[in-house]
Amino acid sequence: MREGIDDRVVQVPRQDVNICHQVAYFTPQALLAPGSHVAQVMEPSEPFREELQDALVRTRRQAILIERLGTELHGLLLVLFEKKILTLAEVRAAERRLDLAATIARAKEFETIAEDVDRLDAELDDEAA
């Protein structure tokens, strides 16, 4: 994680915000501060603030862990290349297999979400009838 990335805050005037076309990034402190956009939209309760803060801390830790794993993997690949145990073609093939597996996993997640939405729609239709 780069230093100072959490210190940047994008301030967007309210009249210029188009939620459909613009994305603004805020620091955790800006999101949780009184008078922030979150506070203006809704009055967050203390448990919500704690839950949001916990999620932000977990996300930051996960990013650090992913960065460390990437660094270790890069070092391992360099050693394997140097000792001619692994070729670049094999690495590219493994990347393609991982990409395909990730695509399949995303498709399954979308399918599950669609099934959940259909189930909830059916429940709402049953309640309305």
pLDDT, tens digit (0-9, with 9 covering 90-100), for 42-55: 555 777 788 888 88
pLDDT tens digit sequence for 18-41: 344 444 445 555 555 666 555 555
Determine the pLDDT at residue 43: 57
Contact 39, 33 (CB under 8 A): yes
Q: What are phi and psi of 13, to 5 degrees?
A: -60, 140
- Give me the amino acid identity at 19: I
Query: Does 92 or 128 have the greater pLDDT score?
Result: 92
Alpha-carbon span 10 to 118, nearest angstrom:
38
pLDDT tens digit sequence for 60-113: 999 999 999 999 999 999 999 999 999 999 999 999 999 999 999 999 999 999
